[in-house]
């Protein structure tokens, strides 16, 4: 059977929904993605695509980071993003979107907070710096 891109996306969503044991309403999922993109600042629509499967428990604490190069569920309690932005830029964005007390580690330049049972941790990716398109920061949201 030959599937077009839209058929493949719908098939993937239905398959993932079946695997999770949870019913997935494709129309509401598409509407939710459209609402996130519409309510977000310019340039964020592309990051909503890069932040696929952003969980509801994370949405309740913070919107997806707008300059994410990739975002994915590691498991049911951990969601991670990568960004080409430096940790200070990512940290400033989160501080402006999440009203919380932030801890900063002076030696590693990492930042973290816990809000409504969700830990947000922002860390520099170790290794060679790479070019401008290389990921520099990892953002981890963990449901506690």
CA dist., res. 88 & res. 37, Å (int): 24
Q: Which pLDDT score, from 0 to 100, does residue 140 have?
A: 97
Same domain membership, residue 70 and residue 25 = no
Side-by-side strand order, sheet with 118-124: 68-75, 78-83, 137-143, 118-124, 111-115, 103-104
Same domain membership, residue 75 and residue 113 = yes
pLDDT confidence tier of residue 48, bands split at 50, 70 and 90: low
Same domain membership, residue 77 and residue 100 = yes
Same domain membership, residue 137 and residue 101 = yes
Same domain membership, residue 136 and residue 67 = yes
Q: Which helix (H) or strand (E) holds 70?
A: strand 68-75
Q: Could you report the per-residue pLDDT of 50-95, keeping only the tens digit for each?
A: 677 899 999 999 999 999 999 999 999 999 999 999 999 999 999 9
Same domain membership, residue 128 and residue 88 = yes
Same domain membership, residue 29 and residue 53 = no
Same domain membership, residue 34 and residue 50 = no
Q: Which pLDDT score, from 0 to 100, does residue 24 have?
A: 38
Same domain membership, residue 72 and residue 10 = no
From residue 73, give the alpha-carbon distance in Å to each of 17, 80, 88, 99.
Answer: 14, 6, 24, 24
Residue tagged 């592309």 (tokens): 46
- Range of 61's domain? 46-143
Q: Could you report the per-residue pLDDT of 1-43, keeping only the tens digit for each?
A: 444 433 333 333 333 344 444 333 333 333 333 333 333 333 4
Predicted model pTM: 0.66
Same domain membership, residue 24 and residue 80 = no
Same domain membership, residue 83 and residue 61 = yes
Structural domains counted in the chain: 2
Same domain membership, residue 59 and residue 26 = no
Beta-carbon contacts of residue 91 (< 8 Å; ≥ 6 apart): 102, 104, 111, 122
């Amino acid at each position: 059977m030959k599937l077009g891109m839209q058929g493949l996306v719908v098939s993937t969503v239905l398959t993932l929904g079946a695997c999770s044991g949870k019913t997935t309403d494709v129309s509401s999922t598409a509407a939710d993605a459209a609402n996130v993109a519409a309510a977000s600042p310019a340039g964020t629509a592309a990051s909503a695509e890069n932040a696929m499967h952003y969980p509801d428990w994370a949405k309740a604490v913070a919107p997806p980071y707008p300059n994410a190069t990739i975002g994915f569920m590691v498991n049911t309690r951990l969601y991670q993003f990568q960004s080409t932005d430096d940790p200070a830029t990512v940290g400033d964005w989160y501080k402006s979107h999440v009203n919380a007390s932030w801890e900063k580690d002076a030696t590693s330049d990492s930042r973290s907070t816990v809000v409504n049972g969700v830990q947000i941790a922002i860390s520099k990716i170790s290794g060679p710096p790479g070019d401008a398109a290389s990921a520099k920061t990892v953002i981890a949201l963990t449901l506690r």
